[in-house]
Structures are given as C-alpha cells and as structure tokens.
A and B are shown apart, each in its own frame.
Chain A
C-alpha cells in the first residue's frame, strides 16, 4: 500500500553478459532493480557497449558465436532478500549475429516459480533471424533497446467453475419460463416414440446396410 515501503523493498542484482570466441567470460552489462512484494516488477539500468566490445561482438557474430547473459538465482520474496547470496546463475543465450542484426533490440524475460524464486531467464531478439545483413553504422550497436518483463506461473484452469456458473444461469432461465424451454423431445415425443418403434421393427432387416453406410460416412468426414 505505502509507496515508500514498496520502494524500499527493492534490491538490485547484476545482469552480466559474455560474448567470447572461446571460453565464456561474463562481464557486467547493467543492473536489474527487482521490486519485491505482491506484484514484483523489474527495471534495468545498463551501460553502453564500448568500442572494443562492439568490434568483439561483430567478430563473434561473424563466426556464429553466442551471446550469453546470466543473472544470479535470487528470491523475490521480501523475507528472503536479506539472506540473499549467490548460489548459482541462470543462463540464457542468443546467437551473436541475431544480436548484431537486431541492433541490440532484445526481449529479456525473468521467470519465477510460485514462491517467487527466479528459476529461469530468457532472451530473444527482434527480429530473431540472422540474414547476414551487414551493420555498418557503429552507433546502432551502442545502446541497448531492451524490453524487460517478469513472469510468474499462471494458474491452470482448476476445473469447471465457469461451466457450473453457466449451468446455474441456465437453470435459472428455465425456472423463469418453463413453457418455452421445453426440449424438442418433450414437445414431439408422441410422434417420435411410434416412429422409433416402427424403425426398430423394420430396422432388423437393413441393419447391415446402415452400418456399412455409417462407416463410410464417418471415414469420409475426416
């Protein structure tokens, strides 16, 4: 409720990236400010890509290398943040060429579990394809254009609550005007019963024909 309190309950964790030709070496890319509480949110402050990094990224992209990011495993629950410590990282990657060709426009999503623990991170670029397009302008590779979001698990439809509601509504409707809601069979049973009887009597002879026809009809329907 209190805005001051909500601001206080945030903390920041590093967002690191790595694009190397050989062994992965993570460097700081920026920092994620995680706001904990009932509705967690996240914001990002990040540095610009330096001259050296830009050329290295292009170099890595040329040999189809990977651009990896990682964030530490943390919990977004308020009571656990104090005892926060690094016990591993969550890692995701895109192809470095996709990063270059999209001019550093990426979408980073953090996933949490039911208790607010970060369980995974994902990164995609927009557009995602590597078409081999040359990025001439160095300026395009300077500033990130990042869309950031945090996702908690959705609740799977538990059951049939909606359906039951609808059933209730319908039964109410029926209660109001029972005359109109009479079903087809209720209205015409006096015609249908003798007909069915008649069909059952005569149906004994041409049962096989009906069966075969049915099979064909069903098969044709697919």
Chain B
C-alpha cells in the first residue's frame, strides 16, 4: 500500500512540473520595451541643477518621467484610454506636477521625484478651457481651473478648493483663458465672437469680482490662438485680417491700441495665420516683455514691448522652431534654423537684447528616414562661469524624441511611434554570405563543365575560409572574459541562426513609420517614415517574397488605405534593410475594396497580389506577362469575398479570364437585427499535422479542416441585457455556404475570436451572469473522411458535426491569439492578453468541447479533462512573469525553425517579445544537460565491454586448454 502511495506521489510530482522561467532565464529569451506615446506636454525638472528628469504627458494618456541622460523611464502612469483619460493640461511647479485629466473631470497632483500621487480631486462637470498656476508674493500656492461656466481655485498642497465662482454671462461669453501675474488677481478672458472681449478680474483671497470690463474686438474669436499676455499684463493680439498687433493693458485700458505690422516694417506671408509666443518664467512673476511673433512657416521675430512701443530685437529668417527657456535669473531664446538638407542648427539668443550668445551652436542632424522637426524642448543650465549651457529635446513628426547635447552629440532617441503598432510581420533573416554563395551556385544556369567545377571549388574555398575565421574568432573570444564578448548586431552581419529563432520584426505604426527590429535583442535596425500617410489610414502588410529565393531580395508590400475615401497606395520595400524597392507599384486611381495574396508566383518568386477596386475590376501586382498568363489559366479557381458591414452584405466573386469578376454568392444579414463586428479567416501559413483524433475505442474522429472557412461574428443592435445576443456564423468563403449558425443569447461584446485548425474560440460578456465567458466550437467530419487526399470547398456535400462548450473566465481580456509552430505537431495554446498587462498561455486542451460531463473509461483513455465550468488562471501560465505589457492590443505569433518553439510578440503601449514552448522543449537538450556524465558513462561502458570481451576470450582459451 505504502509503495502504491509513494508511486502515486511520484507521479504527481512528475506531472505537475512547473512551466515557468527560472530566475536566471529572465531576459535571456525575452525583452520588453516601454513607451509613452506622442508627447503633448513636457517640462524639465529644474529644482536642482543635477536633476535628470523630463516630465512628459502624452496623447496616449500617459504621464511619465524620463531620465534625460539615458532616455529610460523613471516612472510611468497609464490612464484610461479615450477621452476619459485625456490629459488636458500639465502644470509643473517645484516638485509638484498638476494634471487636468478627462476634459476637466480630475485634478491630480504628482510628486515628481518618486512619481507618487499627492492628491486627487474630482471636479465639477463642465468642459475644460484652461488652467494656470497662481502665485502671490513670490510663492506659488494655488492652481486655477477655468471651465465653460465656472472658475475654481485649489490649494497646491492638498487640492482642496479655495473658492469656486460662476462666471458672469457664461451663456453668451465664451471664456477661454485664465491668467495671473502674481499680484493677487486672477484674470479670466472670454470672447463674444465678432463683438468684444470680456475681462473678469477676481480677487485671489475670496473670489470676489474686482472688475469686469468689455473691450471692443470684432475680429477676435479665439484668444489662445492669437493672443498672449506680455510684460506688465498687456494682452497682445495679432489680427490676421488687418495685419496688425493689438495691445490692451489689462489693468487700465478700456480700448485696444492697434499697431499695423507695416509700421514695424514687417510683411506677413499670405495664407498664414501669425501667432504669438510669450514666456512667464515663474507664475508668481510678470511675463517677460519680450515675445516671439511667427510670421510665416519659416520666419520668427523676437519683439519687445517697451512703454507701449514695439521694438524688433531680431528677425530670424529662416527659422523652423523657437522657444524661450529660463535658468536661474536668465532667460534665453533658442531658435532652430535649417542649415542644409540634412542638418539644422540651434542657437541661443539673449532674450532682452536679441544678441547671439557665443559658443551655443548645436547641430541637429535630420534623419532622412524620419520626419521634420515639430517641437523644441530646451533644458538650460548655468555653467560654472555663469554662462548658459543647454540641451535640447527635439520632437519630430514621426513622434521621435531626440535628446542632444552640445555640439550635436545625440544622447538618446526614443521612437514613440512604436507605442502604437498597427500591424506586423516576422520575416526570416537571409542566409550568410557563404550559404548564399552555395545557393547561388544552384540557382544559376549551367554554363559548361569547367566553369562549374571552378565555381564549386571557389565556393568551397570561401566556406573553408569562413570556417577558419569562425574557429579563430571562437578561440580569440574564449580567452576574453565572458562579459566583454558582445555580439554586435548590425544590418551587415544579420544572418539566420541554426534554428531560425532570430527574425526581423517588421512593424507598422499608425503614424506611418515603419520599423525593422531584431527579434533577439529588440534593437531597431532600420526605420522608414512615410510622410504622406493619411491620419485615418488602415494598413495591411504582406510578405510577397521571403528570403528563401536568393539572389532575389525579400519583398514586403504595405497597402495604405484611407478609410474615408477608400483610395489606397502601395509601399514596396525590402524587409531586411527597410529600403524602398526599385519595383514601382501600380497607381491605384480607384478605391480598393479587397486585397488578396495568391499562392501563385511570378518568375521572380514574388507572390501575386490581387487588388479589387470598387468597379469590381481586378488588378494584379506584379503584373508581368507571366503573371497574367498564370491568372488566366487559374482564373476559374480564384474566388474572393467582400464584406460590407454597413449593409450586412457578404458576397462572393469569381475571377474571369479577362480579370473582371462575376458574383457567385450572396448572404445578407439584416442590419436592423444584428451587425457584423468581425470576420476571421485562418492563417495561410498554418499547418495541421494530424487529420483526426484517436478516440477511446481506437477509432478516429476526423477533423473538418476547411482552409476557406470564415468565422463571422455579429452583435445584436438591441442592447437590452435580456434580448442582446451574439451570433456566430461559419461560412465557406468560396461557396458562401453557411456551415454553422449559432446564437449566444444574453451576451454582449466586445467579442474576441481565434479561428484555427478545426476550431473557433470566442470570448464575450454574459449579461445574464455578468461575467466573461469563453466558448469553443469544433468541427468534425465524422468517423470517415469524405475525400482524404484533397480538400475542395466545391466538393464537400456533407455538413460537419459541430460540438460546442462554454466556460467561465475570471477576467476580461484585451486580445487573443493562438500559438503557431512549423509543422503543427506541438499542441496549441491560446495566448490571452489581459488588461492587467499579463499574457496568459492557456492550453487549448482546456477549451475542448469533448471534455466529458461524466468521466468514462473511454474519455480517460483519450486523456480528456473532465468538464468543469471555470477556467482557472494559474500564475505560472503567465509567459511574461512580471514584465507587464501596457494596454496590450495585439499578439503576433510566428513559427521558428524548431517545432517546439513559437515566437511571440505582444504589442500595445509596450512591446514584449518572447518564445513559448506549448509542449515543452521536446526537441532541445536542456541548458544544464550533463554532457560529461553521458559521455563518461558511454566511454566507461565501451571500455568495460572491451575488457570483458578480452577476459571472456582468455577464459574461453583457458577452458579450451583444460
């Protein structure tokens, strides 16, 4: 008995091996990069001369502190997505950073040093207009928040409201700006468009209205865009219709003084709206009397207001960007001007005289594959000799931040475009030069015996040379300490590794910047900015030619489609080097409805891309004679489908030999009842190893493996929790036949779907039980296969058997994907991105509709887990341990050269790359595999046999003598 129990316990130990990383494996096969998004506000922490923090608030609703020496994150706070978490304003004073979030819904104060929350205040409703810090007698203690109808002042120390006042005549007056000059008064500026400005002055003490005046200004409609407060509280506005500056002393005057720009000897570019930039070094003090006036896209003027007179200090022409910066008591102006095509120079100028400061030139090299500079963030500091030194952070159109030190040394760059990856592909790296040489030998046409022999000899010689070089490197590296041996990855020495585990990640971001990233290290190897990408573009990335066709370079095609007009462009590039291909893509004058990559190849091994336009005409790329001929031959077997979700219409077409199309099927789902939310096909590179499943009684249940199957998910238009439902349709994409139609009642989206092999897994919200549920559909042909050699949608008359089961999942999910391996032998896992940032690897075994309710001998034989309604989340299933991925939006899986291994990239705000082994590493020896032991045992056995053989011989001989 005891032995039996012992055996049982041992079995337990054997089966429940923890599937997780060891501490020393952390970061060995995986990496994570954290991003913040496109910067909207930034402040340098200036409390201490040695401070290294840059505070950034971004359009992705992230507030973070960057290390200005390295570009790494000190801390990061990720708020809700969408308008709820939108950061309206960032105010920074000493060690407090005040954020207004969600259109004035929240007021938060953060401690800059540690990134902790000081306090948080829920504000009254009302749309946010403006906010400013209010100083008094040299100290800043309050923050004023202006909303559409109300102004409130809060203590900076604890967020409590000091006073709140309704704005007078807020129905007619559009209040836009709040300003304080540090003298115990708060100015609220509002405008009645095409009539007048209203100025309301509040007392800082109790919120009483001290003064309320109206000033005629019929040309003004937007104060922040055309006005600024300068000097001793003078409102300076620029009027683009009369080309004049208008000044108004907020304290005394009741009328604007107009100063025509011509009187200053200035000309404005036509069609340019001039703007003003002023600077208030400290909220407790008056703004400077100097200000910038931008007169054209490349022209800035530094002006000074001197006793009501405007003096031109300096004319910057050409100048791209300008900015004021204060350190200590000194304020300087930084101006960026173009130098030549590839570089810009930045100089400092004294703000009160406009004189150029000596030795302050800084060169910013413009990346030819990047965007134009968009904003300039300057950090100034006082040097030992009391002169001003500075560093700049340049923000370019492609969301890149570049931090530069004098005289032009780039300290770091952050590619913030990567915080919004839209789609990606992983491309095999090319073979090494020597391998390619060998391949090339077979690729070329034979030209004579002698030359072939010579070629063979030369390539063998090259290989020998490479091998010796490799040996030498090994020997050389072995003598160095391990830490110094670094495999520098560069674009030149990229080559495929033994198991094809290292690949090129080609990532497409919403800003239109493309990246090539080494999957092993996460290093960005190339980047390319497409500057003509529309704002609301949809992207589709296709690999037309892989690296397998040496000497033809690999080729990727990116389809960029404007969602509004449907017009599309193609960008063809080499995924390894990022260079634009010589191949000129066809011009697409018509809106594109559908694109499909055919398995057909042209004579250069590029797969054929078909584009269907809104006239249902088809164009091919590449469109060589060879391709058109092939298309004509195979036209009758090329089917495609179109989906119009606004009309609920799914329709199928067949290609004709003249590249026109004919409609062959149509399914219409009435939009009054339900709308199509997603359509998922199978991945074309998926392999399924086993055709069926062996049952308990040794018979085989064959899978229904239809590569053309589409899973269409619909949601009901009725959102009432009793009547809402989710529909699942399985449609054959070739024949339009509805294979299966099911509804999940009392359920609601968002629905996440994975469709692979013979199964569909989807997740939804159950309104009845108020929880997330998973459901799995599996399709089987039955005990016999209709046609085991080939699958044709046109010849499968019998409908498959459908099995379905549902489960409860304890968390909501962000995204879902299935693992993929080379040959499909390895068991499948589902990779589930959770809102918490974890990525869960859930074995598909648990989502199996054949899990029995009641355990029988047969189900035990089949290794089926008995059904239980809950799916549990086991912590060791998290493949990213503590490396959480912020706002995970997509997971990309790709097979490696090893059957056991699948490469995974999760992207969202962050990017995380790792490898997963769904069935453990059955084809790889362990890291700590004891080679010594096994070889010594082998040798020992070998010698033992030798000796015993000898002994046996001697014994035999002795016996024979006897």
Contact = CB atoms under 8 A, between A and B. Distances in A.
B268 to A, nearest CB: 58
B453 interface: no
Contact of B804 (A64, A156, A192): A156
A24 B661 CA distance: 12
B466 interface: no
A130 B787 CA distance: 13
B744 A156 contact: yes
B766 A159 contact: yes
Interface string A180-222: 0000000010011001100100000000001111110111101
A162 B9 CA distance: 33
Interface of B: 1-2, 5-6, 9, 13-15, 17, 636, 651, 654, 662-670, 673-674, 725, 727-728, 731, 735-738, 740-746, 766, 768-769, 773, 775, 777, 787, 794-797, 802, 804-806, 808, 825-827, 853-854, 867-869, 919-922, 926
Interface in A74-117: 88-95, 98, 107, 109, 111, 113-115, 117
Contacts of A88: 666, 668
A147 B668 CA distance: 23
A115 B773 contact: no
Interface stretch (A5-13, A31-39, A52-60, A121-129): A121-129
Interface in A136-172: 151-160, 162-164, 166
B742 A219 contact: no
Interface string A45-81: 0000000000000000000101010100100000000
Q: Would you list the 9 A-B pairs with minimal beta carbon distance, nearest first?
A: A219-B922, A160-B869, A214-B17, A120-B667, A122-B737, A128-B797, A128-B795, A153-B741, A91-B666
Tell me which of A98, A114, A126 has the highest count of chain B C-beta atoms within 10 A of its own C-beta.
A114
Contacts of B727: 113-114, 153
A42 interface: no
A156 B668 contact: no
A151 B922 CA distance: 46
Contacts of B853: 162-163, 166
Q: Is the interface of B mostly helix, strand, loop or mixed?
A: mixed
B6 A93 contact: no
A120 B738 contact: yes
Nearest to A195: B5
Given A126-B797, A163-B868, A196-B9, A89 B744 contact: no
A95 B637 CA distance: 11
A108 to B, nearest CB: 11
Nearest to B732: A122
Contact of A213 (B14, B651, B735, B795): B14
A74 B748 CA distance: 27
B795 to A, nearest CB: 4
A36 B796 CA distance: 30
A34 B220 CA distance: 69
Given A117-B670, A154-B741, A159 B808 contact: yes
Contacts of A91: 651, 663-666, 736
A115 B735 contact: no
A44 interface: no
B709 to A, nearest CB: 14
Contact of B667 (A90, A98, A114, A191): A90
Nearest to B920: A219
Contacts of B794: 94-95, 98, 128
A33 to B, nearest CB: 22
Contact of B741 (A111, A164, A191, A222): A111
B665 A92 contact: yes
A88 B665 CA distance: 12
Contacts of B2: 191, 195
B308 to A, nearest CB: 73
Contacts of B664: 66, 68, 91, 93
B15 A214 contact: yes
A73 B668 contact: yes
B666 A158 contact: no
A159 B797 contact: no
A215 B920 contact: yes
Given A195-B5, A222-B827, A159 B922 contact: no
A153 B804 CA distance: 14
Given A126-B797, A213-B14, A114 B920 contact: no
15 contacts: A24-B662, A92-B737, A95-B794, A115-B673, A153-B742, A154-B742, A155-B743, A156-B744, A156-B775, A159-B806, A160-B806, A214-B14, A218-B17, A220-B922, A222-B922
Contact of B926 (A66, A158, A212): A212
B743 A191 contact: no
B808 A120 contact: no
Contacts of A73: 668, 670
B926 A215 contact: yes
B922 A113 contact: no
B17 A211 contact: yes
Q: Is the interface of A mostly helix, strand, loop or mixed?
A: mixed
Contacts of B854: 166
Nearest to B651: A91
Nearest to A127: B797
Contact of B9 (A90, A98, A151, A195): A195
Contact of A192 (B5, B777, B921): B5
B562 to A, nearest CB: 28
Tell me which of B674, B741, B745, B854 has the highest count of chain A C-beta atoms within 10 A of its own C-beta.
B741
A150 B313 CA distance: 85
A214 B728 CA distance: 41
A215 to B, nearest CB: 6
Tell me which of B5, B665, B728, B919 has the highest count of chain A C-beta atoms within 10 A of its own C-beta.
B665
Tell me which of A107, A117, A122, A127 has the highest count of chain B C-beta atoms within 10 A of its own C-beta.
A122
A64 B1 CA distance: 72
Given A113-B669, A128-B797, A196-B9, A156 B920 contact: no
B86 to A, nearest CB: 38
Given A160-B869, A192-B5, A219-B922, 13 more contacts: A93-B736, A122-B738, A129-B787, A130-B795, A153-B741, A153-B743, A154-B802, A155-B742, A155-B744, A156-B777, A158-B745, A211-B17, A215-B17
Contacts of B663: 24, 91
A185 to B, nearest CB: 10
B867 A163 contact: yes
A180 to B, nearest CB: 18
Contacts of A129: 787, 795
Contacts of B654: 66
A192 B802 CA distance: 45
Nearest to A117: B670
Nearest to B727: A153
Nearest to A20: B662
Contacts of A109: 738
Given A91-B665, A120-B738, A114 B725 contact: yes
Contact of B674 (A66, A90, A113, A217): A113
Nearest to B654: A66
A90 B667 CA distance: 6
Contacts of B725: 114
A154 B740 CA distance: 8
A157 B805 contact: yes
Given A98-B794, A195-B5, A119 B14 contact: no
Contacts of B14: 210, 213-214, 217-218
B1 A191 contact: yes
Tell me which of A98, A155, A220 has the highest count of chain B C-beta atoms within 10 A of its own C-beta.
A155
Given A90-B668, A111-B738, A114-B727, A156 B743 contact: yes
A66 B735 CA distance: 11
A218 B920 contact: yes
Given A156-B744, A195-B2, A219-B922, A119 B766 contact: no
Contacts of A125: 797
A52 B9 CA distance: 79
A183 B367 CA distance: 71
Tell me which of B651, B736, B825 has the highest count of chain A C-beta atoms within 10 A of its own C-beta.
B736
